[in-house]
Structure 1
Amino acid sequence: MTIKYDHPEFREALFHLSRELDMPDRVHAPIRNLVDCSLGRIFWNDWLRQDAQDAEWMPTPGDHEDPEWHRIDGWPERGDGATHRKWSRRAALWMQWNSVDAWHVCDWLITAVADGHPWLANVDANGHPKKLMKCGTLERLVHEATKGLRQRDLREIVLGPEDEIFVLDLGAGHTLVQLLSRSALRAEGMRMHHCIGRGSYDELLGDPDVGFYSVRNENGKPLATLEIRGGFIRQFRGPTNLEPTDAVKDLVASAIDAFEWKDWRDRPRSATDEDYGDEALAILRDLPPARRRPG
């Protein structure tokens, strides 16, 4: 499907997708155009296909037995601001359903720009990298992202006690380690094949409300990475941003109990509540959880 970049709602749609991606501006700015022509393009086309079927309501994707239905037209009966409400709602829904994959793609784009990957210079007539434009689905983007992250430099980094510290014995020889420095984040990212060490999290290292943790096996090999913000588990991912295994989840359960960490879906969310009436907020509260990953 050919995207119409001059569509009057296109920039509105990208704005709300960008807000749901929840990246600091200094991290988002270098990859903004890449996000727009990859995730943004697919996000837009996904909704064009949905509008061709039903522009007012849609069921939860993949739920074929008794799906939950979602209002997606922006409640035009409420008057001005329907376009804003529509794309805010659609971006929130899309990220609820696709956040794991979307963040995986962002990881790859951040790493590609930081490392100067050659494919960035191979562009089409509009200046968009051909590698991204050939991806017509989110699944294809994820495939390319996984390949790209696996090709990173795996040089070892020597760490000291000022870089990471033991936090908790998880049992069966496994431990939880807190990452305290940029070097620790960089080593974790290189060993786990995600972009936690590419600089996008450095500014959070001194924030007392933010913590980065690594689950290690008996040989010190990282099995999963966690980001905790304000006592909520914001991200919990395995190698190359895959879902942690059930065994690792069971190990981390003891840390969740010990530190009273809560699920990210239970955090207060007031940033966009003003966009919705009581009936819409009731729907938002019932959405499935967004699952995020280290970036």
Structure 2
Amino acid sequence: MKLGMVGLGRMGANMAERLLRGGHEVVGFDPNADARKALEANGAGSADSLQALVKALPLPRVVWLMVPSGKITDDTVDALLSLLAPGDTVIDGGNSNYKDSMRRAKLYADKGLHYVDCGTSGGVWGLKEGYSMMIGGDEQAVEALRPIFETLAPGKNQGWGRVGPVGSGHFTKMVHNGIEYGLMQAYAEGFSILQHKQEFGLDLHQIGEIWRTGSVVRSWLLDLTTDALGKNPTMAGIAPYVVDSGEGRWTVDEAVALNVPAPVITLSLIERLRSRDTESFSDKLLAAMRNEFGGHEIKTEPK
């Protein structure tokens, strides 16, 4: 199968390479000329515009998007809407909000085009291990894309599937990422407690290695955590600043809207926000309150 890939960042480029290894033909577009050259070096074709990309693909066309969520995806989707023909398919493999995917799919359906939302997990390891894909869309449209998903997945019938209609793929990936926030926070807090028990002189990398086999808390995320501890046991040089890309916020919003209690995911999001507040006004005010009612000492900042 021949398909177009829009967005040749690290994950997009890796997905293109896995598709090429699986015997598919790929034509890629990215505004960055170096990214296009790197793709060509792997044996794929490239296009210097969306128009050129669409012209290079056979009917019915399949275009996979791996671009940041929000305006960039909207702009790309809108541009393709005027270039594609009835029967063509766009797959959004990025982390779009599921409501945006539903809105975009309606625009495409009105013109006889298929829109498939594919929540994609696997990160930088996907090239080697395969990608976990949660897919939303018309059943027949998804089935027609089976060869692509089978190639990208960890196994032909493993790690991927159509979970429901358009929007359900990105909704499922959103909740997946919310769960990921909670798991990461639990591991981070647990290892922090171990690290602070100085009297035992615990080797965190060793403990991670022990937990990786036979333990109830073993997981791929623990494998990666242990690997990170082996490379940098004290986390030297890493700023305590944790970014969030939106899915955790959306998960919490949905939990509130659906009246579903999700304290762990919510608190893990709050901890990420807290990590960015290097000049916490609230903490300063708390210290001032304690001083006001109890005369407790206030620690002053160095001048």
Give your verdict on TM over 0.5: no
**Whose Rg is larger?**
2
Higher relative contact order (CA 8 A, sep 6+): 1
